[in-house]
Amino acid sequence: MTRALAALAAVVALAAPGAAAASDQHPTLADLEDEVMCPTCHTALELSSAPAADRIRAFIRREIAAGKTKSEIKASLVDQFGEAILAAPPTRGFNLLAWLLPLVGGALAVVLMAFAARRWLVSRGPPEDEPGHEANGRARVVDRDLERRLDEELARFDA
């Protein structure tokens, strides 16, 4: 059973890059619509009904019919409209910050949460074996003499 699952996972992992390459070689309009932005309304092309979006869709259909790849079509659109036409920024140069900052921010948040949790745990008090603590870990608030006197007063009050 485990070997069968491992073999299936290997087949899926090997097929995934092939599927991505096939998508680049023979793209469809749907493949590109969610990766390209409308220059007038600044939404994904698949959500836009602006005339400019219709012209871009027609351009993409012509390029697909001409046999161009997905990356070639996107490069043509970037040449015409600039990098703002892409839904995701390229992973090079200054735009690399858009990809790295969320990862760095997430890692920093994890570190800060770990630091805060550790500080909170330390602030809860010293361990059980230190003087002034009972066996169950609660801190002793009053000394033994005061506790004895309190018990006597309460016993007298109850009687």
Q: Confidence band (pLDDT; 50, 70, 90) for 111?
A: very high
User: What dotted CATH number matches 2-88?
Assistant: 1.10.8.640
pLDDT surpassing 50 at residue 128: yes
Q: Confidence band (pLDDT; 50, 70, 90) for 107?
A: very high
pLDDT surpassing 80 at residue 150: yes
- Cα distance between residue 21 and residue 119, in whole Å: 50
Task: State pLDDT tens for residues 2-36.
Answer: 665 555 555 556 555 544 444 567 788 888 888 88
Task: State pLDDT tens for residues 35-80.
Answer: 888 888 888 888 888 898 899 899 999 999 999 998 899 889 888 8
pLDDT surpassing 70 at residue 139: no
With vertex at residue 52, the alpha carbon angle to CA 46 and CA 53, rounded to the nearest 5 degrees, is 10
The amino acid occupying position 60 is: I
What's the confidence (pLDDT) of residue 21?
45
Q: What is the pTM of this model?
A: 0.48
- CB under 8 Å to 25, separation ≥6 — which residues? 69, 70
Question: b/e string for 32-49 if b means 16 or more Cβ within 10 A?
Answer: bbebbbbbeeeeebbebe
- Cα distance between residue 63 and residue 60, in whole Å: 5
How far CA 158 is from CA of 65, 87, 150, 151, 153, in Å, comes to: 96, 76, 12, 10, 9
Spans of all domains in the chain: 2-88, 96-158
